[in-house]
């Protein structure tokens, strides 16, 4: 709850911005750690403080922007980092940089993908601004911080300001560091296909683009490989899967033509074990590097002919990370 003096102090903002009391509380519930200098930082700090957000300056000199007293009894626990490229915010915040004469700001939420932010800010230089441009950029920066404080915007969003001061949004890269979002109907079709392959391991490919995910059922080529050359392929299709190279190339070509990309390779473990096995790991990253960068793996473990669990394995920052994939209800 806001106290009476606080309400008076921010009444103007409460009325003008249509934030409401809840929005104003949200602005006061973050602490901004500002590691920037110059007119840019000054403008951002002034704007944020005027909006009711506590700002800590990383520099030793507070400059003309004296600290305002905190608005709530205890200091806000939620911290937003604001800093210059190539540094990166800890959990959440905004990074400001320059590229090709323009200024670029990336804002990330706690739940945003930091590996994607790393890609986005990789080529940014520290911002170099003076005078009026710094004030304009500082105001824009404060606006992005306020959006973050209010819980608005996508988990990772970018804005570019041209030399002439023209604003445009910058698209975040397609995230390959987290399991893709697969609709329940596609998952159900996948489980159906994998169940049909029992007692052998089944396999499939998931391809997609922004407007949807498509299942490409694949045949397990391991049986043919094993029959042809049991020495090179000692395991049968009961305990291994492999994709036929020509079929795989067809998938790649068709996805390319449709503007899709391969999101994941799925396979089953007919009698467990759940999750990405050591064998799977060796197959997916034979030399410690992923064979198919940006492609996730989905392992569905069956037990007594029924799917029991599904686990994602996604390569991010040097290793495969596993996470659960909830099974559609009708298969439980």
Binding span for Zn ion by CB under 5 A among 62-70, 85-93, 141-149, 273-281: 273-281
- Contact with Zn ion (CB under 5 A): which of 29, 72, 102, 115? 115
Note whether 175 binds Zn ion by CB under 5 A.
yes
Helix (H) / strand (E) containing 142: helix 131-149
Are 40 and 129 a contacting pair, CB within 8 Å?
Answer: yes
- Contact with Zn ion (CB under 5 A): which of 177, 225, 226, 297? 177
Distance, in Å, from the CA atom of 123 to the CA atom of 158, rounded to the nearest integer, reads 14
Distance, in Å, from the CA atom of 33 to the CA atom of 35, rounded to the nearest integer, reads 6
**Shortest distance (Å) from residue 283 CB to Zn ion:** 8
Angle (CA) 86-90-93 rounded to 5° is 80
- Contact with Zn ion (CB under 5 A): which of 134, 280, 300, 309? 280
Q: Which is nearer to Zn ion, 116 or 216 (CB)?
A: 116
Report the candidate in 96, 86, 80, 81 with the shortest Cα–Cα distance to residue 40.
96
Note whether 113 binds Zn ion by CB under 5 A.
yes
Q: Which is nearer to Zn ion, 133 or 204 (CB)?
A: 204
Note whether 116 binds Zn ion by CB under 5 A.
yes
φ/ψ of 134, rounded to 5, equals -65, -40
**Shortest distance (Å) from residue 156 CB to Zn ion:** 8
Distance, in Å, from the CA atom of 13 to the CA atom of 19, rounded to the nearest integer, reads 8
Angle (CA) 213-218-184 rounded to 5° is 35
Site string for Zn ion, 65-104 (x = CB under 5 A): ----------------------------------------
Using CB under 5 A as the criterion, which residues of the chain lie in contact with Zn ion when the complex forms?
Answer: 113, 115-116, 175, 177, 277, 280
């Amino acid at each position: 709850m806001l106290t009476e003096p606080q309400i008076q102090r921010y009444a103007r903002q409460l009325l003008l911005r249509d934030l409401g009391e809840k929005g104003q509380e949200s602005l006061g519930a973050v602490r901004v750690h500002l590691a920037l200098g110059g007119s840019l930082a000054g403008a951002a700090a002034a704007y944020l403080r005027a909006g009711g957000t506590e700002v800590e300056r990383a520099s030793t000199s507070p400059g003309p922007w004296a600290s305002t007293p905190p608005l709530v009894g205890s200091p806000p626990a939620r911290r937003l980092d604001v800093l210059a490229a190539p540094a990166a915010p800890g959990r959440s915040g905004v990074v400001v940089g320059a590229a090709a004469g323009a200024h670029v700001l990336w804002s990330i939420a706690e739940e945003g993908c930091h590996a994607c932010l790393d890609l986005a800010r990789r080529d940014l230089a520290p911002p170099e601004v003076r005078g009026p441009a710094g004030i304009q950029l500082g105001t824009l920066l404060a606006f992005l911080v306020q959006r973050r404080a209010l819980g608005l915007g996508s988990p990772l969003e970018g804005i570019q300001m041209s030399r002439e001061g023209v604003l445009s949004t910058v698209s975040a890269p397609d995230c390959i560091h987290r399991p893709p979002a697969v609709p329940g109907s596609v998952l159900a079709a996948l489980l159906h296909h994998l169940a049909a392959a029992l007692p052998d391991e089944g396999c499939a490919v998931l391809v997609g683009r922004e407007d949807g995910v498509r299942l490409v059922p694949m045949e397990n080529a391991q049986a043919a490989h094993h029959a042809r050359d049991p020495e090179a392929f000692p395991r049968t299709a009961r305990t291994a899967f492999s994709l036929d190279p020509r079929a795989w190339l067809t998938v790649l070509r068709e996805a390319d033509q449709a503007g899709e990309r391969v999101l994941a390779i799925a396979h089953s473990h007919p009698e467990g074990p759940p999750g990405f096995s050591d064998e799977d790991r060796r197959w997916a990253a034979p030399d410690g590097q992923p064979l198919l960068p940006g492609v996730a793996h989905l392992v569905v473990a069956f037990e007594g002919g029924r799917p029991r669990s599904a686990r994602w394995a996604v390569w991010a920052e040097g290793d495969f990370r596993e996470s659960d994939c909830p099974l559609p209800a009708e298969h439980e």
